[in-house]
Structure 1
Amino acid sequence: MRHVPYYPDEDSKLRASNVQVRRGGNCPNTLEVLQQLLRQEQGARLSDRVMLYLVTCLPSRNAPATERIIESFGVDTSVDFSRCIFRDENEEPASSYIIRSSATGSRTIVNYNDLAEMSFDEFVATAESLGSEDAWFHFEGRIPATTLQCIQWLRRSKPKARVSVEVEKPGREGLENLVAEADVVFFSRSWAEVRCAIAHFLPPKASGNP
């Protein structure tokens, strides 16, 4: 993220007032929160009953970017990365470049992702390797068609599994189908503002004769 005093004009030069580099991603962030909650519940020790897995596409195992992502969870992390799908032909992860204007508070986001997305077959192979029948699967609603296939497979093959999904962009086609299939849904603010109807109640009329 680059903090700038104002949004720059095209083909201009502007000095940033601050630069921040963070690991992002809805699923990694969710795992980070779960890891913290487990630490609080168990004190300094993590529960042996709860296993946390990150299942996502990453660059090559030996890529410096992959090492930075894994290290960002901390040396004592309880997150298991063995089920990640490593794309050996890639060196860079999915990333976002954010320009934040101090003048208006606006955030302009430029995304980059050269990684091939996870396929349905790759998900099935990974889910079967976990073994547990009552696991909780959390999905990002980025590719609704593939995600819907994965959820429907879970309903057939692991009926005891719980499913949650994160829904962000209100204009993305197919997200409503994920909402209908999931047990728990996390809505973004933009989705709530655009897609959720707001009921307006008029005050009751005064009683009595005119």
Structure 2
Amino acid sequence: MHATENTMNLEAARAQMLGQQIRAWDVLDKRVLDALHQVPRERFVPDRYRDVAFADIEIPLDHGQHMMAPKIEGRLLQALRITPIDEALVIGTGSGFLTACLACLAERVVSVDIFADFVETAGERLVQSGVDNVELKVMDALALSDTACFDAVAVTASVPVLDDRFVRLLRPEGRLFIVVGRPPVMEARLVTMHPGGESTEASLFETVLTPMINADQAEPFVL
């Protein structure tokens, strides 16, 4: 296949993903759509799944983890209402795609993962894609210090119950996207921190995500 033909096929698949999956699921924020269009999703997908990079499926990663379906990523990004001056946190770097999309929207992104090989590979992909406003860390997200606060937090795995330690990562007016529950019933929620220190939750939609490693353990923060 000629390079020009391959590029055309990629762009057609990208346009179909945006139109038939993401916009069809009520993701209409222009900045979010632009980010999902600009970040080369095919570059972040494992080579063996490159042919389904734009399909409406979760794509398997190593260690039993998964890359979220495009429409879930779109809804997550839209719900967080990222502004160009925000600092965002990604819990679960995975392939690095969501981190790259957030980097298009925010001023700075911190992205953490428990698996060192995910962080290493994501770092290479981010460099190849010209992303330079991301800090990657190898760590268990449950060991994050609540002295580090963010305007937006995206959790890419599910938790059985909403753990307050994630809420404490939010600055005033900060937003947290998290999927709560156990298979087969899980719910995507948006938690908003208000200036007075109180938080509110809103139910977004039902979905199923891979459970977060160690999420059942109620370990304290490491300060």
Higher strand share: 2
Between structures 1 and 2, the one with greater helix share: 2
Same fold, TM-score > 0.5, yes or no? no
Larger radius of gyration: 1
TM range (shorter): 0.3 to 0.5
TM-score, normalized by length of structure 2?
A: 0.37
Query: TM-score, normalising length from structure 1?
Result: 0.39
